[in-house]
Amino acid sequence: MKLFHWLILFICYKIVLYPFLKLIIGCEFNSKQRIKALKQFVIIAGNHSSHADTGAIMANLPAKFLTNVMPVAAKDYFGSTTVKAFLSKLFINVLLIERHHLGAEGNKNIGIQLMINALDEGKSLVIFPEGTRSNSGDIREFKSGIVRVLLERSHIPYLPTYVSSSAKVLPKGDPLVLPHNFSVTIGGERYVDKNISVDENMSCIKSEIEKIRDSLSSAY
């Protein structure tokens, strides 16, 4: 069953989506060589502007990771019906989470525990810490949930990731896919610091993503 699922994901992401994004849409992929040696990781992607973000990140990963990497997705959208949840898991490999479970204070909530459970099973995660897509393309305030997860499993690295200009490819509320140059840049591994607060760790993560953004801006 796992091989069958890997084959479906390989066809979706590597045979169909990768060449479509690269040759038709104009997506630039960076960083594969930085993660091939990692066994497990959490990709934290800022500037979430489009559903194309998830596909672009997954298509950018080496094929061996496809069944072990789970994009964290909103259950109210990707799992609103039983059929939609099944198809989302089959073709995207999502981990469905209630949005309001991502940033609660105090005791570990359901969403945080689901992510910890996935990590304990050897899975890696892709998460958009802003919690929803942005219309402006700006990096917005992060939810604290992913930091709380990483503090519970601080031996697992996170990879700061920046997706640029994807809002023009598949804008929020618009099903039309349009050709437009955009890029996915996955940074090197980093670790949360258990000696500082959740908010300070969030600031560090956001700063790492902003550094990637600024380096891209200075390159043009």
Q: Which domains does the chain have, with CATH numbers?
A: 2-218 (3.40.1130.10)
Does residue 52 sit in helix, strand or coil? helix
The yes-or-no verdict on residue 177 having pLDDT over 70 is no
Strands 182-186 and 158-164: antiparallel
Based on its alpha-carbon atoms, the radius of gyration of the chain, rounded to whole angstroms, reads: 16
Mean pLDDT of the chain: 84
Residue 25's nearest CA partner among 12, 16, 33 is 16
- For range 182-194, the mean pLDDT: 91
Of all residues in the chain, what percent carry a pLDDT higher than 90? 50
Does residue 29 sit in helix, strand or coil? strand
**10/23: higher pLDDT:** 10
Q: What is the pLDDT of residue 100?
A: 61
Count CA within 13 A, CB hemisphere, residue 73.
Answer: 26
Q: What is the pLDDT of residues 117-130, one digit of tens each?
A: 999 999 999 998 87
Q: Is the pTM of this model over 0.75?
A: yes
The yes-or-no verdict on residue 104 having pLDDT over 60 is no
Q: What is the pLDDT of residue 72?
A: 94
The yes-or-no verdict on residue 107 having pLDDT over 50 is no
Confidence of residue 131 (pLDDT cuts 50, 70, 90): low
Q: What is the pLDDT of residue 65?
A: 94
**Rounded Cα–Cα distance for residues 180 and 177 (Å):** 9
- For range 150-163, the mean pLDDT: 94
Confidence of residue 139 (pLDDT cuts 50, 70, 90): confident
Least confident window among 18-22, 153-157, 171-175: 171-175
